[in-house]
Amino acid sequence: MPAPCVASPKCPRYIPAPPTEEKLDFADLAIIDLAKAQTPKGRAEIYPQVRDALRTNGFMYVVNHGYTQAQRDRFFDIADVPFSVVPPEEMKTYRATIEKVGEYQGFKPRRYWHVDTENKVLDQIEQYGINRNVYLRPHPQALRPFLPELDAFARHNHINILHPILRLLALSLELPEDTLVKKHTFDANGVTAMRYPRSEEEERLANNVWFKGHTDYGSVTILWSQPVSGLQILSKDGKWKWVQHMDNALVINTGDTMEFLSGGFYKPTIHRVVQPPKDQRSYSRLGVFYFSLPNDDVRLLPCTDSPVLQRIGIERKCADEDAPLAGNWMKERSVAYGRKELKKGKEEGVEEELINGIVVKHYN
């Protein structure tokens, strides 16, 4: 057994919940072995698996991503520090000014987004966001000893996980392998940790929905699988399916900007978070995410060079001359998201919001 790393600063242990024993209606998601992405032969073998997974369910598991279970657990310990160690007063100092700058860096307090307009229920999600350049902004005292580890984690997500996946997506579009990697260099928004507590009364009013149905707005979302069930994806037959926890796996999906870039080839899948099953309700639900976005100056135009898109046709979300820059799109979406009471949409159970001339839908 390797000796424990004595240089690591001590961190309180985050005690994870045991996985649920309830028989939930779980989604049947493909499992991608990312170790294979290291060779051209391996990439040729797995890009069709990734393509098919993302074009059917829109979500997949990724294993062999380069972190051991112990490294992953250590990161969850660190991810809980902003919530379990930082005092409430200090939290206020590091509050994210989402409404002003459209960025999630710092704490997003609870009761910020609308969850149920009719019953006036607001969210209970506490979130601490960090840019992938972790040294860009100051952090609460308790987090400072862990900055080198946060930095390593951000780089690992970006370079060892995101980039290989972007290469596989480029291959699936018959584009040069680095086409999408070049649009995602290492300097925009990064790591986010989140935690969700909730009261009984609000559970009832919000119909047990914690985070409304949505698509992610970035290009690829990396979610580090954690045991408290709650995440559900909307399947093609209109049913919500639970995402099952898998030890030391990643749950990966694409978002709106990938739909732009791929000319509709990769459509984001609607997902939401609901109250966990009974046997897990007394545990806190801590999530660790790496949300990726194209570089701010990338115009969200479809990759028209793709022979695949040339064969099957390109879908555009807007006219090319109206295509937003990734940076503006993300800021405007973050500023506006969930802040207004939403308008009822054309479809049953769907509410709409107009951001940058493009309709963003919220699914109940």
Ligand X SMILES: O=C(O)CCC(=O)C(=O)O
> Interface residues with Fe ion (CB under 5 A)?
216
**251 contacts: CB under 8 Å, gap ≥ 6:** 29, 59, 60, 61, 62, 223, 225, 231, 243
The reply on whether position 79 binds ligand X by CB under 6 A is no
Q: Give the shortest CB-92-to-Fe ion separation in angstroms.
A: 26
Alpha carbon dihedral 273, 338, 55, 159, in 10-degree steps, equals -90
Give 46 or 54: the residue with its C-beta nearer to ligand X. Answer: 54
Strands (E) in 239-311, as ranges, are 240-242, 250-254, 271-274, 285-291
Return the residue nearest ligand X (CB atom): 231
Distance from chain centroid for Cα 149: 20
Size of the site for ligand X (CB under 6 A): 9
Cα–Cα distance for residue pair 107/109, rounded to 1 Å: 6
The reply on whether position 164 binds ligand X by CB under 6 A is no
| HSE-CB of 173 using CA atoms within 13 angstroms | 30
Cα–Cα distance for residue pair 52/65, rounded to 1 Å: 20
Residue from 72, 184, 245, 271 that binds ligand X (CB under 6 A)? 271
Q: Give the shortest CB-214-to-Fe ion separation in angstroms.
A: 6
Give 80 or 216: the residue with its C-beta nearer to ligand X. Answer: 216
The reply on whether position 231 binds ligand X by CB under 6 A is yes
Question: Quick one: what does residue 231 bind among Fe ion, ligand X, none, with the CB cut-off 5 to 8 Å set by partner type?
Answer: ligand X
The reply on whether position 212 binds ligand X by CB under 6 A is no
Give 158 or 212: the residue with its C-beta nearer to ligand X. Answer: 212
Dig out the tokens for 106 from the structure. 């710092």
The reply on whether position 216 binds ligand X by CB under 6 A is yes
Do residues 121 and 208 lie in contact, with contact meaning Cβ atoms separated by under 8 Å? no
Q: Give the shortest CB-68-to-Fe ion separation in angstroms.
A: 26
Question: Quick one: what does residue 211 bind among Fe ion, ligand X, none, with the CB cut-off 5 to 8 Å set by partner type?
Answer: ligand X
Amino acid at 9: P
Do residues 172 and 308 lie in contact, with contact meaning Cβ atoms separated by under 8 Å? yes
Return the residue nearest Fe ion (CB atom): 216
Give 36 or 362: the residue with its C-beta nearer to ligand X. Answer: 362
350-355 vs 343-344, strand pairing mode: antiparallel
Q: Give the shortest CB-81-to-ligand X separation in angstroms.
A: 18
Q: Which stretch binds ligand X (CB under 6 A): 18-26, 88-96, 181-189, 223-231?
A: 223-231
Q: Give the shortest CB-211-to-Fe ion separation in angstroms.
A: 7
Q: Give the shortest CB-244-to-ligand X separation in angstroms.
A: 12
Do residues 34 and 65 lie in contact, with contact meaning Cβ atoms separated by under 8 Å? yes
Residue-level length of the chain: 364
Bridge partners of residue 351, in order along the sequence: 344, 362
Question: Quick one: what does residue 273 bind among ligand X, Fe ion, none, with the CB cut-off 5 to 8 Å set by partner type?
Answer: ligand X
Site for ligand X in 281-340 (CB under 6 A): 287, 289
Question: Quick one: what does residue 287 bind among ligand X, Fe ion, none, with the CB cut-off 5 to 8 Å set by partner type?
Answer: ligand X
Cα–Cα distance for residue pair 232/26, rounded to 1 Å: 9
Q: Give the shortest CB-148-to-ligand X separation in angstroms.
A: 26
Q: How far is CA 194 from CA 5, 23, 111, 213, in A?
A: 27, 26, 14, 17
Give 37 or 249: the residue with its C-beta nearer to ligand X. Answer: 249
Which residues would be at the binding site for ligand X (CB under 6 A)? 211, 216, 223, 230-231, 271, 273, 287, 289
